[in-house]
Each structure stands twice: as structure tokens, then as C-alpha cells.
Amino acid sequence: MNFPVFFIAFLSALSCYGFATRVVDRRLRTETLRRLTGVKNKIAGGPARATGPALMQMVDEVRGKLALSLLERLRLKKQVEQVLETACLKWGAAGLAHRAGGIFIGVFVIATIASANSMPLAALGAAAVAGMTPWVYAKRKARQRVHRFEEQFPDCLEFISRSMRAGHAFSVSLEMVHKEFSDPLASEFRRVFEEQNLGQPLEIVLKKLSSRIPSMDVQFYVSAVLLQKRTGGNLAELLDKLAQIIRERFKLRARVRAVSAQGLMSGRILAAIPLAVAALMFVVNPQYARFFIDDPAGHEMVAGALGLELVGYLIIRKIVVIEI
């Protein structure tokens, strides 16, 4: 494939995508204005009919319709929205898809120009890996935020327990939490208090908290509060015991990580040995190692070796890492 032909095809595809996006956005703006004004389009030359005003949809549903429809077809929209909400990122599902697509196209064009279109599969693989960076970043930030929440959670439970023993109501204790603690725990409990204060049932509010923070500790807390609401009992004492259990889980998790650290380090060393040997081959005998770069069979061998090494590392990690 000639590079000018590829460049013209790329510009044509990009222009078609921009034109389609503009048409869809124009239709969505027209529909939004129609809903705000309460006037329907004329049907078969008849007069315009007025209707009552309708609520505006979310921003993600107005912009990025093509990306949202693609995520819905792949059944990934709900998962993406949940990860972004846990990570406290205001991108939206469509924003994440746009970022991934933009990085994919940019890296693919740069890799194609750098290699003079001699390795299209390698450029496609590099673009696919780079396109996953927004999702990996969101997952990592969500995991870090949940970890920080779990570190603060036992102190939060004890604070709610002491507040209730002092005579405050449960809802007032939730309001005091976001004033005494830092993020992410403060922001999540502030949202819980505001949602309950606006009239949502406590059961729905707590279930939404457990969905935003996918932690077993939060699920224990939600189950304990809802069970106490239905059956009665001393909620303050129950929260104290729950905080103690969570701290014991932290201690056990630390012991397991200390025991499994040796196996995890062994897996990382085993995964790094082939890469070190390959780098040593390029230094000692570069003519022999050029086979894996110049020959198509070498490309297939490198791809197979990297795939098997990745599978082996994931298997070792699955065996070593123990969830508590």
C-alpha cells in the first residue's frame, strides 16, 4: 500500500466522520430546541402543535451520540460509566471513547509515518495499546480512590458511632462526616446526605453508594444499616464491631501480601528475563538479532513470544495474588 493512498484514505475517513458527527449534533440541537419551546414539527403540511416542556437529557446523550451507540452495542456503557463515577472523572462514557479514539488515530498516523508504512500491523498494535491508556488510567484512578476510601472507612464508622451515642440522628451523623474527613470519603458521604435530604429513600441512597464504591467493606456497612432499620437494634454498637472487623481484614491482607510478595517478585523476574536476553542479543550480536525485525517470520515469532510471556505472567499473578 502506497503512503499517499493511505493518507488520502485517512483524510477521507476523518472527513466522513466529522460530517456525520456534525449532522447528528445538528439534529440533536434541533430536537433539544423543539423540546424546550414545546413546538412539534409540522406533519404533512399541517399546523404546528404545542406540547408541554420536556426535561433536557444528559450532556452525554446530546453530544457523542455515535460513541454512545457504539458502547451500547458492545454492552460497555454501564461499565464505563460506573468506572468513571468511581474514579470521580467528569469525562462521561462518550468522552472516554473520544479520547481513546483520538489517541488511537494519532499513534497510528505517527507510527505509520515513522515506519514509512512498512509495518502496518505493528503500527496498528501500537495504536491499539495506546488507545487503551484512557481506560487504564480511569481504572487505576478508580482503584486508588477506592483504596483511599477503605483506609478512612473504619475511622468514619467509629465517628458515626460516637456521634449517635452523643445523641445525634443517623442523618446528622452523615452530615458531620463530610465536615470532619477529607476526600474521597467526605465527598461520597456528602452526596449520600444530600440525596437523602432531597427525599430519596435511605435504602436507594446507600445502594448507590455501594455501586459507586465497589468495596466489600461498604457492602457490609450498607447491609448492616438496612438490616438495623428493618429489625431494630443498637446501630452504634454494630458500627463499632464492623470497624473492628474491617481493621482485622486490613491486618490479614497485609500479612498475605507480605507472604505472597516473594512469589510476585519471582514472576516479575521470570517475565523480565526474556526481555533482558533480547536486549543482550542486540548488543552482542546485532546481525543475528536483526532477523526478528527484518524478516516477517521474525515478527510472528516475536508476537508469539510476547503473547505467551504475557499469559504466563498473568497465570503467575493469578496464583500468587490472594484477595481477602
pLDDT tens figures, 210-233: 888 988 889 888 988 888 888 877
**Long-range contacts, stretch 309-314, CB < 8 angstroms, 24+ apart:** 309/271, 309/274, 312/270, 312/271, 313/267, 313/268, 313/270, 313/271
**What span, in angstroms and rounded, lies between the C-alpha atoms of 204 and 225?**
12
The rounded mean pLDDT for the chain is 79
Cβ neighbours of 204 (radius 10 Å): 11
Helices 185-197 and 133-165: crossing angle in degrees, nearest 10, is 70
Query: What is the model's pLDDT at position 140?
Result: 93
Query: What is the model's pLDDT at position 264?
Result: 80
The contacts of residue 203 (CB under 8 Å, 6+ apart) are 226, 229
**What span, in angstroms and rounded, lies between the C-alpha atoms of 175 and 211?**
20
Q: Compute, in degrees rounded to 10, the torsion defined by CA atoms 184, 188, 194, 196.
A: -160
Query: What is the model's pLDDT at position 47?
Result: 44
**Whole-model pTM above 0.95?**
no
**What span, in angstroms and rounded, lies between the C-alpha atoms of 76 and 97?**
11
Take residue 5 and report the three cell numbers written for it: 493512498
- Which DSSP symbol is given to 295? S
Query: What is the model's pLDDT at position 10?
Result: 62
Pick the closest to residue 105 from 23, 25, 11, 21 (CA basis): 11
Tell me the percentage of the chain whose pLDDT exceeds 90.
6
pLDDT single digits (tens) 15-32: 666 666 666 667 776 766
Q: Are 174 and 196 in contact (CB under 8 A)?
A: yes
Pick the closest to residue 178 from 164, 205, 162, 159 (CA basis): 159
Burial (Cβ within 10 Å: 0-12, 13-18, ≥19) of residue 260: middle
Helices 202-212 and 185-197: crossing angle in degrees, nearest 10, is 150
pLDDT single digits (tens) 274-301: 888 888 888 888 888 788 777 788 888 8
Q: How far is CA 18 from its chain centroid?
A: 26
Instruction: Going residue by residue through the chain, which has 324 residues, state the pLDDT in tens, using 9 for 90 and above.
Output: 455 555 566 666 666 666 666 666 677 767 666 665 544 444 344 444 444 444 444 444 445 677 777 777 778 888 888 888 888 888 888 888 888 888 999 988 898 888 787 778 778 888 888 889 999 999 999 999 999 998 889 999 999 899 888 888 888 888 888 888 888 888 898 888 888 888 888 889 999 998 889 888 898 889 888 888 888 778 888 888 889 988 888 888 888 878 778 778 888 888 888 888 888 888 888 888 788 777 788 888 888 888 888 888 888 888 877 766
